[in-house]
Amino acid sequence: MSFKLKVITPYGVFYEGDIDSLNVCTKQGYLTILPNHIPLVAPLAIDSMSYKANKETRVCALAGGIMYVSSEETKIIANACEYKEDIDINRALEAKKRAEQRLEHKTTNINVTRAEAALKRALNRIETFNK
């Protein structure tokens, strides 16, 4: 038995298709979605996400977002999403370095929340790449 997953980012449709299971990290903790899951809306954390389709598991880095589970489909609106295989590790390492430097040399005009979020995205890409 399968169910529909659609993942949308500001850059386009990341995934649309039938899957067997989905593992996501909500702001309340890890959750596995299987067919016929109860309807749900949950904010998603910056973390890895994985789904199984046609006996194959795909692992992605998800930059936070929101998930809607209904009887028809599961929809994720994400800030960004990349498959593990598509992660540019050097870019993520550079982004990590930039964010750390911004947080180290705090000045009144730097946006700490923004730098912290950039650091979380970079660390998540690095962790997902190394999985």
Q: Which two tokens stand for residue 60?
A: 């992605």
- Per-residue binder mask for ligand ATP (CB under 6 A), 48-77, x = binder: ---------------x--------------
d(CA 119, CA 127): 12
Is residue 78 near ligand ATP by the rule CB under 6 A?
Answer: no
Where does this chain touch ligand ATP (CB under 6 A) — which range of 34-42, 45-53, 103-111, 118-126? 118-126
Q: Decide: helix, strand or coil at residue 110.
A: coil
d(CA 70, CA 118): 31
Nearest distance in Å: CB 70, ligand ATP? 26
Q: Decide: helix, strand or coil at residue 99.
A: helix
Is residue 87 near ligand ATP by the rule CB under 6 A?
Answer: yes
